[in-house]
Amino acid sequence: MPLLAPDAPIGLPAFALSDDQIATVVDLISQGCSAARSNLHAGMLEVPITIVVRKAMRRVKRTLGLTNLQIRGEVELEDMSTNDPTLLGRIDITLQFLHQFGDEDAYVAVECKRVHASEPGLNTRYVTEGVDRFVTSRYAAGHEWGFMLGYVLALPASDVVKAVDSRVRKAYGESAGLVPETPHALSLAVLEGALLQGGSHTIRLKHILVDMLPAAKVSSDQLSPP
């Protein structure tokens, strides 16, 4: 008597994210960045900013009572198909939802980069050292989704969007262009584009831009009545 084929989904379910899970990632990032601003100071570099953001995201997660995901620190990626000891890279922030637990290749990748309305060098690195790592499969190989987090250090954010959008369209085609979505209440912008990964697989990249100018410190004198 033949066995019935299991009713299993096609593809790699561990690499997929539902709409609710995508919204959760956007919310955690936006709330975490907003909470982190009070602990920033002028001149902070990308790595210390990200550490502060990651800690804030974990606090937000606990406050919201989210037990179906974990937020991990910087993760080293290795090519498991070879014995080459060279690392593929280090992702700034990764999350794993419950359906991804136990599979080291299944995660939500968040790559963080500083951007600035009048500093083209930072905006260029957002693409060449951020977006490109998803395109070349160094990050999130075979995944449906990846996330870019832009720490906006100078407004207007629209100038940053224009600069990044122009570069990704030129480098990866029109489909990679940044399409605006409804922003989170604590973000400056949320955008999305589609990239061809490894020449054959389409990965969608969500871009979240947040205000990371250090929050103004109010002195006790300022709080005193005149």
DSSP 44-58: --HHHHHHHHHHHHH
Predicted model pTM: 0.86
Q: 84-132, pLDDT tens digit by residue?
A: 445 556 899 999 999 999 898 899 999 999 999 999 999 999 999 999 9
8 Å CB contact between 47 and 113: no
Q: 136-145, pLDDT tens digit by residue?
A: 989 999 999 9
Within the chain, how many helices (H) and strands (E) appear? 6, 9
**Interstrand relation of 87-91 and 75-78 (parallel, antiparallel or unpaired):** antiparallel
Residue 201's pLDDT is 94
Q: Which residues contact 166 (CB under 8 A, 6 or more apart)?
A: none
Of 105, 91, 138, nearest in space to 14 by CA: 105
Of 155, 154, 152, 150, nearest in space to 191 by CA: 150
Confidence of residue 70 (pLDDT cuts 50, 70, 90): very high
Cite the DSSP H helix spans in 89-187: 120-126, 132-135, 157-172
Confidence check: pLDDT of 16 > 70: yes
What pairs with residue 219 in β-bridges?
none
8 Å CB contact between 178 and 188: no
- For the four alpha carbons of 162, 167, 170 and 175, in that order, the dihedral sign comes to negative
**Interstrand relation of 145-152 and 201-211 (parallel, antiparallel or unpaired):** parallel
Task: Tell me the helix, strand and coil percentages in the chain, rounded to 5.
Answer: 40, 25, 35
Q: What is the mean pLDDT of residues 193-222?
A: 82
High-pLDDT (> 70) share of the chain, %:
83
Q: 177-198, pLDDT tens digit by residue?
A: 999 999 999 999 999 999 999 8
Residue 220's pLDDT is 37
